[in-house]
Structures are given as C-alpha cells and as structure tokens.
Amino acid sequence: MFFYSELFGLEGQTVRQRWSLEGKPMQGVAIEVTRVRQAAWSKSMMQPERTGNWTVEVADKAGKVLGRSNFAYNPN
C-alpha cells in the first residue's frame, strides 16, 4: 500500500509519515523537504495479519499532525 502527500511551504524541514494499525504504531518514514512544493510517498507491506483500520499521518518535527488519512484493509 502506498501513501502519497503533497507538501507546501515546508522546505528545509523533515516531516514523518506515520503508519498505525488500530492505533498501534507500525512504522514511520522520515522525508526531507527540499522544495516549496514537494510530492512525497511511503509504503507499507500489507499482509493478512495486518487486517483492520489504518491511519497514516504526516507530522512535522515537533509531532504536530499536518494531515491524516484513514483506510480499512481486508485482503478477503
């Protein structure tokens, strides 16, 4: 599964795409922002034991959530 985001006005900062399953952190991907407008993406390998409700958040260095998306994964 891929998560794409478009970042505006964050050049020179590092943001993090944080993946969680049912509220449990699963992975975080640091993204260095080098442009005024920048596309960014990360991925997580979906497996049958990871069925459930997912959230991906984009957060700044201080942990402030800049954006969030939710989805349900069910391989059946």
Whole-model pTM: value is 0.90
Looking at the chain, which runs of residues are DSSP E strands? 2-8, 14-21, 24-32, 37-43, 52-59, 65-73
pLDDT digits (tens, 9 = 90+) for 3-57: 999 999 999 999 999 999 999 999 999 999 999 999 999 999 999 999 999 999 9
The span from the CA of 56 to the CA of 70, in Å, is 6
Q: How much is the pLDDT for 18?
A: 97
Distance CA(18)–CA(57), nearest Å, equals: 5
Q: Stretch 51-75: mean pLDDT, rounded?
A: 96
Whole-number Å distance between alpha carbons of 36 and 44: 26
Report the pLDDT value the prediction gives residue 76, as an integer from 0 to 100. 81
